[in-house]
Amino acid sequence: MRHTLLYINCKSICFSHSYQNQVRHVIIFIFVTLQLAFFCIPANYITNEAMAVSDAVYFSDWYSQHIPSLKVPLLLIIQNSQEEITIKGGGLVTINAGTIVKVLKVAWSVCSLVRGLRQN
C-alpha cells in the first residue's frame, strides 16, 4: 500500500506541470515516508535490543555463580537470543531501517525513469 502510494506521488511529481500540484505531492510524499519511518525505526530498535540480550546475560557474571539450577536456563536464554528476530509487515515485508532506504531508492529510480521518458 505505502509502496504504491509513494510510486503514485513520485509519478505525479514528475508529470505535474503546476507548481502547486508538485508542492502538494511532495508534502504527501514526505508524510508517507514519515509514516513508514514511524514503523520501521522502532522495529529496527527492537531487533537490535533483542540481539543485545545474549550479551547482557553473558556479561552478568552467570558462570561464577554456584547455583546449578540457574546455569541451564541462562545457557538456553543465550542460545535462543542469538537467533535474529525479523519483524514482518503482513507476513510479507521485513520491517527495519533498511526498508525505508529500499523504498526511497525505488521511488527515486521510478521518478528518474519517468522524468527521462518525459523528456524524450
Q: Give the tens place of pLDDT for each residue, 45-83.
A: 998 888 888 888 888 877 777 777 888 888 888 888 888
Q: How many residues does the chain have?
A: 120
pTM here is 0.65
Q: How far is CA 37 from CA 28, 40, 70, 117, in A?
A: 14, 5, 40, 30
Look-up of cell digits 503482513: 90
Beta bridge partners of 93: 89
CA–CA dist 97, 80 (Å, integer): 23
* H or E stretch covering 59: none
Q: Give the tens place of pLDDT for each residue, 15-55.
A: 556 777 777 878 888 888 888 889 889 998 998 888 888 88
